[in-house]
Structure 1
Amino acid sequence: MPTNVDPTRLAELPIVQAPMAGAGGPALAAAVGRAGGLGFLAAGYRSAAVLGAEIEELRSLVGDVPFGVNAFMPQPPPTRAEGELTARYARSLARAAARYGGSVGTPAPGVERDDWDAKLDLLVAHPVPVVSFTFGLPDIEAVAALRAAGTLTVATVTTPEEARLAVAHGVDALCVQGGEAGGHQGSFDNPAAPAPYGLLTLLTLIAAETDLPLIAAGGLMTGWQIEAVRLAGASAAQLGTAFLRCPESVASTAHKVALGDPAFERSVLTRAFSGRWARGLHNGFAARHEAEAPGVYPYVHHLVAPIRKAAAARGEADGLALWAGQGWRLAREEPAAEVIHRLVDEMAAARKASA
């Protein structure tokens, strides 16, 4: 049974830094943690060995300050038909690779498991304060093993049905992700079409069904919004895009510049970069490839990754996955600690205004 311990109470503030594969890292998580929030490392697309090194680096930076690690859950292997669709997409991507001076990736067999078994062994043997799950749930025995090691567990959910499954698995808290969120939608399956709930509606529905602590995620950029979701039932708010332009973020320079570029007019949900629905700024790559991108995750990610790397090296935002939530225009180029301090001031102003 859940411990009814709120993972966000480990930090001084009800502010969680979203785990962002390819944009977060030890420096960002440490800066957020030292400022009073709960920083997260993203374990997705990393080997257990690399993750272990990042955890040790983060510990060296923060000492006893709590932090979390987010893991992507294993996915089913592709069917024969999905393999054929992936091969067809790979052939189509050759032109994009030539455009940016890169190459089409070659996914290794078994990439759908994302080294999960070794990561679980690492996290049980060397426990961290919090572990969250995205793209599904591990088996109940894995949740129990983490909790027995002293780790609090958080499941990312995008529907009330997913929330019920997570509660039945015995997790300690839920990260309630609305469709406004930047980056990947953390849904348990990989639907043919996105049908995300808005955050406030989803938060209200899930809060009516469970007493577990809820972390609200999706388009949140200000302290005023943090206070709003707390009034709606959340214990804390998770923000990702708000930290993307920070110097501690390892997002590419082109990505950071794009977030402040008025030429980008909207964010969209696309499968073109990974085979799963993810929200980012609408650019040329998404426009050219969305219609043909198969829903075969993470194989599509590994096909596209070298192309994205080449585009980043050339500073071409047109070829990048410019992950961003719907509130991206409010992202500022400032240190993470200043983001936290501003959010705290805005939260205080919101409470004063509503008193």
Structure 2
Amino acid sequence: MSTGFLDGLGVRLPVLAAPMAGGPSTPEFVVAAARAGSLGFLAGGYKAPALLGEQLAAVRSETGTFGVNLFAPNPVPVDAAAYRRYRDAVRGDAERFGVAVPAKPVEDDDHWRDKVDVLLEHPVPIVSFTFGLPDAGAVAALHRAGSVLVQTVTSADEALRAVDAGVDALVVQASAAGCHSGTLTPQRIPPATPLRELLAEINHAAGLPKIAAGGVVDPEDVAAMIACCARAVLVGTALLLAPEAGTSTAHRRALLGADRGDTVVTRAFTGRPARALPNRFTAAHHDHAPSGYPALHHLTSPVRRAAAAADDPEHVNLWAGTGYRHVRERPVADTLTTLASKL
């Protein structure tokens, strides 16, 4: 089965395992995708550069077929007054778990340059970028290191900007995706354009190879995206309950529990739009959460870490796509193979 630009990596199953920062995308998860004939991405976001290097070594000891995703800098500085109001709003949650929240906004770049340096010292087949576009120096250096570069986009305009930045392929992410939106303009909530329609729009605008992502839950969805113009499909929510995934117990409980209703796109957890299952935290804070990443991420992370440690699904970010009701507890390979069964 030809997967175009992935053929040189030995990928025969064009249903790929998405990078899911914060825990799910473990080395075991990535290796399991490769052993199924697919490809998985280590999530570099939120990791210390040293830990990313350790996980790269762990994956490379088992397979050479994998990618790494980085959060490219695209900060949205938070308004100081809005930050103070939101800090006061979440203080009660922090006190409940006995943790402190930052008094002042923390604005950083997630160790961007250091992580690029890790990937230059230890080159990987594919490097993908989310949140922002990589700078010209990083693009040139990673290309010299032999990496294929992939950019997450959510519109035709973003696709053209990615082409100008010099990347090799695009992840076309629809609003239905269960994670942060990769939008380059996080001050605005991306429109709920169906994936197939968005894929067609971007295919018309940009000629780079495309990977479709967002709301893919069954083999028919996969077949439709490949028939449209995608070279591959990227899935995340469908794999959250895999035994190889590092999904928290609280997150697993929420996915396996009673139906929580429709997902919500919210800034409540990080200041960037992200799709999640509703819980008490979103009910309390969704309506007044300001735009501001990474400041809100750092503000709420002590609460989320404490809640996850307490197996409390009501105060953690329960990222989930619109098709979360289809998620099943089964190994990575089984899910990927099933999703590709109509090709």
TM-score (ref. length: structure 1):
0.91
- What are the residue-to-residue correspondences of 1:185-196 with 2, within 5 Å? 185-196=181-192
Residue number in structure 2 paired with 1:38: 39
Q: Partners in 2 of 1:105 and 1:34 — Cα distance?
A: 42
Determine if contact 1:172/1:213 at 8 Å carries over to the other structure. Answer: yes
Q: Partners in 1 of 2:89 and 2:133 — Cα distance?
A: 33
2:301 is the counterpart of 1:305: yes
Task: Give per-residue Cα distances to partners, 1:290-309, cap 9 Å, x unaligned.
Answer: 12211110110111111111
Which ranges in structure 1 are unaligned for 5 or more consecutive residues? 349-355
Q: Partners in 2 of 1:83 and 1:37 — Cα distance?
A: 45
Q: 1:106 offset after TM fit, Å?
A: 6.1
Determine if contact 2:75/2:294 at 8 Å carries over to the other structure. Answer: no
Report the secondary structure of 1:347's partner residue.
Answer: coil
- What are the residue-to-residue correspondences of 1:87-126 with 2, within 5 Å? 87-105=84-102, 109-111=106-108, 113-126=109-122
Report the secondary structure of 1:318's partner residue.
Answer: coil
Deviates more, 1:328-337 or 1:259-268: 259-268
Residue number in structure 1 paired with 2:19: 19
Determine if contact 1:275/1:293 at 8 Å carries over to the other structure. Answer: yes
Task: Give per-residue Cα distances to partners, 1:66-102, cap 9 Å, x unaligned.
Answer: 10000001133626xx133223211221111123444
Q: Partners in 2 of 1:261 and 1:39 — Cα distance?
A: 27
In 2 relative to 1, CA 94–38 (structure 1 residues): closer, same or farther, beyond 3 Å?
same
Instruction: Kindly provide the amino acid, as one letter, of the partner of residue 69 in structure 1.
Output: V
Residue number in structure 1 paired with 2:240: 244
2:266 is the counterpart of 1:273: no
Determine if contact 1:8/1:16 at 8 Å carries over to the other structure. Answer: no
In 2 relative to 1, CA 106–147 (structure 1 residues): closer, same or farther, beyond 3 Å?
farther
Determine if contact 1:184/1:276 at 8 Å carries over to the other structure. Answer: yes
Report how many aligned residue pairs link the two structures. Answer: 338
Deviates more, 1:9-18 or 1:302-311: 9-18
In 2 relative to 1, CA 247–267 (structure 1 residues): closer, same or farther, beyond 3 Å?
same
Residue number in structure 2 paired with 1:51: 52
Report the secondary structure of 1:275's partner residue.
Answer: coil
Residue number in structure 2 paired with 1:152: 148
Q: Partners in 1 of 2:166 and 2:266 — Cα distance?
A: 32
Q: 1:109 offset after TM fit, Å?
A: 4.8
Determine if contact 1:8/1:38 at 8 Å carries over to the other structure. Answer: no
Deviates more, 1:254-263 or 1:120-129: 254-263
What is the aligned counterpart of 2:342 among 333, 338, 347? Answer: 347
In 2 relative to 1, CA 214–107 (structure 1 residues): closer, same or farther, beyond 3 Å?
farther
Which ranges in structure 2 are unaligned for 5 or more consecutive residues? none
- What are the residue-to-residue correspondences of 1:168-179 with 2, within 5 Å? 168-179=164-175
Instruction: Kindly provide the amino acid, as one letter, of the partner of residue 34 in structure 1.
Output: R
Determine if contact 2:125/2:147 at 8 Å carries over to the other structure. Answer: yes
Q: 1:242 offset after TM fit, Å?
A: 0.7
Q: Partners in 2 of 1:279 and 1:211 — Cα distance?
A: 28
Q: Partners in 2 of 1:335 and 1:77 — Cα distance?
A: 37
Instruction: Kindly provide the amino acid, as one letter, of the partner of residue 246 in structure 1.
Output: A
Residue number in structure 1 paired with 2:70: 71
Structure 1 stretches of 4+ moved >6 Å? none
Q: Partners in 2 of 1:99 and 1:7 — Cα distance?
A: 48
Report the secondary structure of 1:97's partner residue.
Answer: helix
Residue number in structure 1 paired with 2:227: 231
Determine if contact 1:8/1:235 at 8 Å carries over to the other structure. Answer: no
Instruction: Kindly provide the amino acid, as one letter, of the partner of residue 31 in structure 1.
Output: A
Q: Partners in 2 of 1:75 and 1:190 — Cα distance?
A: 9
Q: Partners in 2 of 1:249 and 1:102 — Cα distance?
A: 27
In 2 relative to 1, CA 70–106 (structure 1 residues): closer, same or farther, beyond 3 Å?
farther
Determine if contact 1:216/1:229 at 8 Å carries over to the other structure. Answer: yes
Q: Partners in 1 of 2:304 and 2:139 — Cα distance?
A: 34
Q: Partners in 2 of 1:130 and 1:154 — Cα distance?
A: 7
Q: Partners in 1 of 2:7 and 2:292 — Cα distance?
A: 34
Q: 1:220 offset after TM fit, Å?
A: 0.7
Task: Give per-residue Cα distances to partners, 1:308-328, cap 9 Å, x unaligned.
Answer: 111112221111110001111
Report the secondary structure of 2:184's partner residue.
Answer: coil
